[in-house]
Each structure stands twice: as structure tokens, then as C-alpha cells.
Chain A
Amino acid sequence: MSGVLASMIDGLLVGAVYGLAAMGLSLIWGVMDVINLTHGSMIALGMFCMYLLFAALKINAYVLLLPTIGAGLIIGLVVYWMAVHWVVGRSMLMSLLSTFAVNMMVIGIGTAVWSTSPYNVNFVLPGITVGAYTFTGNHIAAAISAVVIALALQLFLYHTRTGKAIRAVADNREAAELMGISSTVVLSIAFAIGIALACTSGALVSTLFPFTILSGGVYQLKSFVVTILAGLGKPFGALVAGVLLGLLEGVVTPFIAVSWIPLIEFGLFVVVLVAFPQGIFGKRAAA
């Protein structure tokens, strides 16, 4: 029984990182109505960003999150002006395809540079031992970092002028423009933040598990599941839903073979999508 509890706690900790990844997806989706299919490759870029920084500097990996966030913001701006700006407001198919095209290019370049062999960030924090179980320090630190970043985003969105502008554009773009908000600037900032969140969560994952350039795909799909669970454009809800998903993984892991977990997750995903298209925490509104 205590084994299940330990597995649940571990799931909670990893879930916070899933939540952070999903926040990036959810923010972009909510603000500009673009489903960002570069999400997975950006998570992978975050992983390699952390790997390169750590290999070069050899300091505490969690300090390196700050430059990773910076790099994510810059990458986000580049991607926005390359592929997203021109399709915002056009049909959904166009933005799906243009972000997917960028995804292919990033994965292609990444495969050429790093191949698809696994890498890992060799940084270990001392863990906490309770009875027969040890919670690794990296899991705890990653979860704490994820929650801190999520809180920072929440503060930014609700208590700064730019953050309020982002929410205003998400709510009603025309009205926000009439109030003198430059929606282009706001959209590019929101997109950059979304990408930075994806990169950061990738960097956190890289301190927990080995990764390849293709690993981002797994977390992209988990992010979709979490975003749908949380309802669109609710970044903080995404964190909660992410923790729930991690918890679910933690609960079922001791009982069934790991290979069944994707079936449960995606089955759940489709069922929730069909039954609650607005998300479990979302309000009922016209689709």
C-alpha cells in the first residue's frame, strides 16, 4: 500500500512538469486560437538547450532554467515571425499546417545534428528517504521549479500591464485593439512565452529522464491531454490537470504493465474530448 502512495507522490511531482508543458500550449491556444504543433519540438529543444548549457557550465541544472527561459523567448519570437504571424485569424487548418511545418524542420535539423540516440543531463540532487522509499531530489526540484514558474506566469498575467493586455486580446481581439492595444505585439509576446514554457518544461524533463530529439512528441501528446482536461486558455487549470495526469500515471503504474498506459491516457483523452469539449474545469459555452 505504501508503495502505491510513493508511486502517487512521484506521479504528482512529474505531473507538475506535464502541467508546465501544457501551460505553454494552452496559453497560445487560448490567446490566438492557434494549436501549436511545434510544441513537441520546442520541448525537445529545451532538453538539448539544458544539455548543452550543463555540459558547458557544469553548475546546478536548476539555475540553468533562467537562460533556458531566455532562449525559449527568443526562439518563440523567431517562430512567430516565421510561421505564425501570417496565419493568425486564417482557418485552423493553415495554422496547424504552418506550425507543423516548423516542427518538421526543427526535428529534421535536430536529427541531423544530434541523431536520435539518447542523451541525459548528468546532474543529481540528494533525495529524501522516507522508510523504504527514496524520492529523488531531481523530481522534487523539478516539481518545485514548475510550480514557481507557473505562479510567476499567473502573477504576470493578472498583475502586469502586458499580462492584462494578453488576457484582453484572448478575450476579444477587436475590442482590445479599439482600446489601443497592439495585438501584433501582444500575440508575439504571448507566443514567445508559450514557447519558453515548452522549452523550460523540456529542460526540467531532461533532468529527470534520458531523452532524444524525438522525445518531445510524447510530451506534446500529454500536453494535449492535459489541455483538453483543463479546458482551453486556462493556463493555471493546465497545471492542476497536469498534476492529475501525473497522479493517474502514478496510481496505475504499480498495477498494470507500463505499455498499457498510453491506451488509458489516450482513451481518456478521446472520451473527455467527446464528453466535455470545453474541458472538465471549463465553462459551458458555444463551441
Chain B
Amino acid sequence: MILRRPFFWIILLVAAGFIYAPVHGNNVSLREDLILIAIAIILASNLNLMIGYTGYVNFGHIVFYGLGGYVGLYLTTARGWNLVLSALVAGVVVSVCAFLFGLAILRLRGAYFALATIGILQAVQAFVSNFDPWGRSTGMYLSFSSYQSLGGARHALWITYFLIIAVMTLSMIVSLAIKNSKFGLGLFAIREDEDAAVVLGVNATMYKAIIYSVSAFLPAVAGALMFFKNGMIDPSIAFEYMLSLEGIVMLMLGGQGSVIGAALGGSLYERLRSYLLTSPVLSNFHLVIAGGLLLMVVLFAPGGLIGWVYRLVPRARKVIE
């Protein structure tokens, strides 16, 4: 049972910390920092389901986040739905799309799949940029009245913050639960040797399509919440290719295949990026530094930070997964 795993309680503790820290003293700037970290953790954790668990590189993971944002914002503004409901519906819609797409493109293996994900990202972005109901390339704006139902803007921002932390917690719990399930074992088998896995009775096509759609759900919900909080969305922000790729950097930095690795990589990279972007000397070079870091990790520590910890303290595997 997942409740018996110590790491489950560690996740809850971290989530409690995320909620306590900014609420205590009503620290809004800390909240804004933490929200970016939470988004990074959500993206990296769900990407980990594809890259770390199943061994399929998804370059266009951000498409789920952006589409979720679009569906969510469309439902809250044009339809006047309640935030939680529209975020959930956005998640479901995007997951179903991902499942159907997944059945088609997951017949491809390895690099071919990776390239198809780039194609999907670009095609969806091009489609949304031309889609009239979603405001084409100028995007959509949230009307201020949408905040009223949540008790005014100030209140609404706190509520979205708590919801995003909930999504972050759920992302890590889902990762942990999948890792410790039979389904997860099937995914690992696909990662190690897909043909062998099929021979041993793993329904690879179905498994891959399911994990692809699972990895779409929470990022889509997070996208709906985040773009509601920002109050606007346009195709270049929603489907930012760079952010999609930075998700991979986060995952590699922390250690792919590990729940804590994805979370750690996400938060560290996000902190590093904020630091570099705001530093007057280094702001122009944040890509150079991030790239150099990634190259170092790939060449010298393919297991990432957590791989290094596991090597030093093998027993750590049992506690932090």
C-alpha cells in the first residue's frame, strides 16, 4: 500500500511546507516564487512518467499545459464556468485527446516518436494561432469579473495557489503510485526492452497510450489554473517550445526515473533560472549556463543528482524514491 511508503508522507510534508510558508506572514512574493517552482515540479514529474518510466522522449510535453490553459480559460471566460470545474474538464479533454493521439503516434519508437511530438506541438500551436474562438494569435483575456465568484482578485489568487499546490502534490503521489504498481512494472519493462515486454504479455500499445494520457492530465489542469491566475493566454506563451525543452533539462538534472529526482530537478532548475534571469551580469547567459549544465549532466552524471545520491548511499533508495 502506498500509505506504508515513507516517501508518501515526505510528499505530504513538503506540500504542507509549501502551504504554510507563504500563508504565514502573508508573503505574496514568496508565493509567486513557489508557484513557479510548483509548476516546474508538475511539468517535470509528469514528463518523468514518459521519459523516466517508459523511455519515450516527449519534446512537446508543454502542449498539454498550453491546451489545458486554453480550454480552461475558454470555459471560465466564454462560458462562465467555475474555476475548479473548468480546470478538471480541461484536464479530461486534454487527456482524451492525448489518448487518441497516443494510439496513433505511439506506434512509433524511439527517435521517431520524439520527432512526432515536436510535430504535434508545432501543429497544435499553428492550429490555435488560427482558431477564431480562441482569439487566434492575440489569445484570450480573462474578464475581471471572473474573479468575483472566488471573492475578489486577492482571494482568487490564493485559491489558485492552493489548487496548484494540490496538483503538484497529486503529481508526485501519482508518480509514486505508478512506480509501485504492476502497471509501473509494465512501463519499466517497455523502457528496458519493448519487444521482450510484449512477449511477456505487456500490452505495450495500450500501456503507452494510457501513460501518455495520464502524463497529460495534471499538466493540463495546472495550465488551466496557471493561465487563470495570469489572466491571459496567447499561443506563444502557452506553447513555449523552450519551456518544453527546459522540462527535460529539469528532469535530467534531478535524475530521470525517480519521483524525488523530478521534483528536485524542477525546483533547483527553476530557482537557478530565476536567479540567472534577474542577475544583471548573467541574465544574457542563462541559456548558456543551463545548456552547459545539461551537457555536464549528460556526459558525466547520466543518473542526475539523485543517481549520485543513490550511488553514495544505496539505502536511500528505500526512503526517497
Contacts and interface: CB of A to CB of B under 8 A. Distances in A.
Interface in A264-287: 266-267, 269-270, 273-274, 277, 287
A275 B294 CA distance: 34
A186 B18 CA distance: 53
Interface string A87-104: 100001110111011111
B114 A107 contact: no
A100 B293 CA distance: 12
A181 B31 CA distance: 60
A172 B286 CA distance: 40
Contacts, number: 124
A263 B235 CA distance: 13
B299 A87 contact: yes
B114 to A, nearest CB: 6
A261 to B, nearest CB: 8
A259 B57 contact: no
Interface in B162-202: none
B287 A97 contact: no
A104 B248 CA distance: 13
B248 A97 contact: yes
Pick the most buried of B110, B122, B127, B284: most chain A CB atoms within 10 A of its CB: B122
B123 A262 contact: yes
A255 B4 CA distance: 63
Contact of B123 (A103, A111, A259, A267): A267
A35 interface: yes
B111 A92 contact: yes
A257 interface: yes
Interface residues of B, number: 44
B10 interface: no
B166 to A, nearest CB: 31
A98 B298 contact: yes
A194 to B, nearest CB: 16
Contact of A263 (B108, B114, B127, B292): B127
Interface in B121-149: 122-123, 125-127, 129-130, 137
A179 interface: no
Nearest to A115: B284
Contacts of A92: 57, 110-111, 114
Contacts of A96: 57, 111, 114
A133 interface: no
A112 B289 CA distance: 12
B104 A274 contact: yes
B298 A287 contact: no
A158 interface: no
Nearest to B131: A263
19 contacts: A35-B115, A83-B295, A92-B111, A98-B294, A100-B294, A101-B293, A101-B298, A104-B245, A107-B287, A109-B288, A217-B241, A224-B118, A259-B130, A262-B122, A266-B123, A266-B126, A273-B112, A274-B116, A277-B108
Interface of A: 35, 82-83, 86-87, 92-94, 96-98, 100-105, 107-109, 111-112, 217, 221, 224-225, 228, 257, 259-263, 266-267, 269-270, 273-274, 277, 287
In the A-B complex, the 4 residue pairs with the smallest Cβ-Cβ separation, listed nearest first, are A108-B287, A104-B291, A108-B288, A262-B126
